[in-house]
Amino acid sequence: MLTIIADIVNIPVDDPIAFTFFTGYMAMLASSVFFFAERSSVDGKWRLSLLVSGLITGIAAVHYYYMRDYYLATGENPTALRYIDWTLTVPLMCVEFYLLTKAAGAKMSLLWKLIIASVWMLVTGYYGEAFTDGSSGHSVLWGVLSTLGYVYILYTAWFGEVAQLASQSGNATVVRGVRILAWFVLVGWAIYPIGYMCMPGGWLNTGLGWSSANVDLFYNIADAINKIGFGLVVYSVAVSSSNK
């Protein structure tokens, strides 16, 4: 037992993946505390948005707490834990689009379409990553299916219902916030396919020799950028609108 505990708490100085697991955990936890604490400083209509931001980073912090120990104890990718985290947090990130445009007339149908698209993206991605057994063709197929959900969310944020509602809101702060979140979806979420293609059978694995060890590094960096960044954008919108 003492040996296992020693292995868990020991962070190799030359292991950037272990470093990002610990950094990600602390960053998510601190962000969650910040968003919850700041709810009282904004108008009532924005408090639910900050609550969702705090839940996103809070749920991620709990999963990172377990993922960091799993990685240090086994040296393996915590695929199941990571997708459990994403299945909870990514739909909540889509909820932020709905909350930002609700005042402009966003309907529950928009919320459900975004949630369904995000769940589809994650379920197909998990199957492709966890059950392909290194088959390149199989992983590509499920990767393409997963990308369909991503493209739908991307289109909705940039040109579809979310973008149109933000424009109709007449609130420049909301328009700017939605556009920044759309950039997160375009650039930040694009990091995840890079990690996906590093797994056995993936294009970067077979073409460039990038191993599955790169998967967690890409995923950890993407999680910190996207989840904390999403919350900070929502916080900025809430503060600016409240001050006005």
CA–CA separation, 235 vs 77, rounded Å?
Answer: 32
CA–CA separation, 170 vs 41, rounded Å?
Answer: 23
The pLDDT value recorded for residue 4 is 45
CA–CA separation, 57 vs 65, rounded Å?
Answer: 12
Q: Which of 164, 175, 185, 169 is nearest to 229 (CA)?
A: 185
CB 229 within 8 A of CB 159: no
Find where tokens 């749920």 sit: 59
Domain ranges of the chain: 2-243
- Residue 62 CB-half CA count within 13 A: 10
CATH topology for the 2-243 domain: Rhopdopsin 7-helix transmembrane proteins (1.20.1070)
pLDDT tens track of the chain, all 244 residues? Answer: 444 444 445 667 778 889 999 999 999 999 999 999 999 999 999 999 999 999 999 999 999 999 999 998 888 889 899 999 999 999 999 999 999 999 889 999 999 999 999 999 999 989 888 776 655 666 788 888 999 999 999 999 999 999 999 999 888 999 999 999 999 999 989 878 777 777 665 656 665 655 566 678 888 999 999 999 999 999 999 999 888 7
CB 223 within 8 A of CB 60: yes
Question: Which amino acid type is present at position 75?
Answer: G
Would you state the structure tokens that stand for residue 183, as one six-digit string?
A: 């950039």
Question: Which amino acid type is present at position 193?
Answer: P
Buried/exposed code over 138-174 (b: 16+ C-beta within 10 A; e: otherwise):
ebbebbebbbebbebbbbbbeeebbbebbeebebebb
φ and ψ at residue 143, rounded to 5 degrees: -65, -40
Q: Which of 221, 228, 229 is nearest to 195 (CA)?
A: 221
How far, CA to CA in Å, does 101 sit from each of 52, 70, 140? 15, 39, 35
Find where tokens 């999403």 sit: 230
CA–CA separation, 97 vs 124, rounded Å?
Answer: 23
